[in-house]
Amino acid sequence: MHQNISKQDYIHYIIMKTKSHNVDNITRTKAYQNFYMENPEIQWTLVASLVSRNAGWNMTDLSLKPYKKLLHHDVRNRFFMTYERANWLIFSDAYPQLLVYKLSKKVNTPLFFLLKNFHVSSFIINEWYKFWHNHDKQRLLVALIINEQNVIQSPVIKQPYFKYQVFFKLPYLLQDLLLMNAIVLPTKNQTVYGAFVHDFTNLTNRITLGKRVSAIIFNPRIYQNVLDFLLTIEHTGSRWDYEKFLDLSFPKSTILRLMYPVVTHQDIVRNDWYKWGGIKSKWFKEVSYNNNTDRDAVISFYKKRSMLFSYYHLKNSLTAKKDL
């Protein structure tokens, strides 16, 4: 190893660093963002930071009165745990990869063999070696999207608790059918971009969504505006982070750390998804940016939120009249 630093020293460093940043949605989001600012060639970390912000916003949406009225406490808690578990799991897999890359840069030698100690897939280890030699930023971006979506497929999407208590239940099926969920990419100039989240349980759909979101973020006309937002607006987990720039009348959601305690996760023995399933060639297929579609997604998302709030107020007023 380099300059008397042992393999165990590296492993200990990576474990401690990952643990210190994998506390909650706020720490994960900041860690991705800070890594990107230091290593902008790893484009996935900017995408991860923005998607992680969205996970936080989805978590705190559950504090809003319409959600409290329409969804039982247990249902809301299951939704939170779905977002939290996926957010935690992706970070626990991805951050060691990022740290190994950072260490590799520092010693100017690829250290990706260390990743076997963190149950990282053979697929992404190979992709890191390719990137080290060919510097293909776009391929690594897509490879990381493919890897992390495969990482959560078995322990979250197909895990019996989440499968039967969340994804097979009416609240999830309805919001999926009505396209009530979207990845929102805000700016400070009243322009918001995004893409609908549909059929989240479908692996290929999630990979396509990741590529679509990436295409929006790295579009030259959008990139700087989105980056300016990230660098100047502290992530609190509340949609008010960006809704304060929009002409909207929605109530503020609670900031995340006032709403949820830190969750302690039990890690699991992870099988190498690549050895079990391999990859599909279409996962590497490029997805292009579409200005109209990506703006329309956010407009439609907010129309549906307006309908949800209107339904809540109508139901509330009818209940109040009955009580008179």
Tokens 């990576």 appear where?
14
Q: Specify the pLDDT at position 311.
A: 75
- Averaged pLDDT for residues 210-225: 96
Judged against a pLDDT cut of 60, whether residue 280 lies above it is answered with yes
- Asked if 34 contacts 280 with a C-beta cutoff of 8 angstroms, the reply is no
306 falls within a domain: yes
Compute the distance between CA of residue 41 and CA of residue 258 in angstroms, rounded to an integer: 35
The model's pTM is: 0.93
Q: Does residue 278 lie within any of the structural domains?
A: yes
Which tens digits make up the pLDDT trace of 220-238?
999 999 999 999 999 999 9
Better-scored residue on pLDDT, 235 or 297: 235
The per-residue pLDDT for 288 is: 81
H or E element in which residue 274 lies: helix 273-277
Task: Indicate the pairing of strand 192-196 with strand 182-186.
Answer: antiparallel
| CA separation for the pair 160, 96 (Å, rounded) | 27
Contact call for residues 194 and 57 (beta carbons, < 8 A): no
CB distance 211 to 287 below 8 Å = yes
Does the residue 28 lie in any domain? yes
Whether the predicted pLDDT of 299 surpasses 60: yes
CB 138 within 8 A of CB 149: no
What is the domain range of residue 46? 2-260+270-323
Domain for residue 265, yes or no? no
More confident residue, 313 or 194: 194
| DSSP structural state of residue 64 | S
Average pLDDT over residues 140-153: 97
Report the domain count for the chain.
1
